[in-house]
Amino acid sequence: QVQLVESGGGLVQAGGSLRLSCAASGNIFYIYTMGWYRQAPGKQRELAATITRGGTNYADSVKGRFTISRDNVKNTVYLQMNSLKPEDTAVYYCKVVLQTTLVGGVEDYWGQGTQVTVSS
């Protein structure tokens, strides 16, 4: 089994910063992708940023403001969020794509989400 523990959400004024973290633990053979998705009230969940061994990917709406990084020893992904806007208000979910064993298939795991609220 795999567990994802998210932290770092909170309330911040526009222009402020937050740093989210997500630590994966348990039966992990190899992690392909780690990322952050967000869902605002009444809206669909959308990608914010992802990171693989080969690079990073950002939504246009966060590019230049958010930075995703990864610690492969600790199996932890971070999202540094700067210059936050009210439009960034959402529940942020951590996602990992991994194998638990060499012969197993690729599986997706989701964190429980952490609330980020940006006031104007």
pLDDT score recorded for residue 1? 87
| AA letter at 30 | Y
pLDDT tens string, the chain, 120 residues long: the values are 899 999 999 999 999 999 999 999 999 999 999 999 999 999 999 999 999 989 999 999 999 999 999 999 999 999 999 999 999 999 999 999 999 999 999 999 999 999 999 999
Cα distance between residue 44 and residue 24, in whole Å: 25
In a 3-state reduction of DSSP, which class is residue 59? coil
60: left (phi over 0), alpha (psi -120 to 50) or beta: alpha
23 by DSSP, 3-state: which? strand
Longest dimension (CA), the chain: 50
DSSP character for 53?
Answer: S
Q: How far apart are CA 30 and CA 17, in angstroms?
A: 31
Q: Which residues pair with 39 in a beta bridge?
A: 91
| Residue 48 identity | A
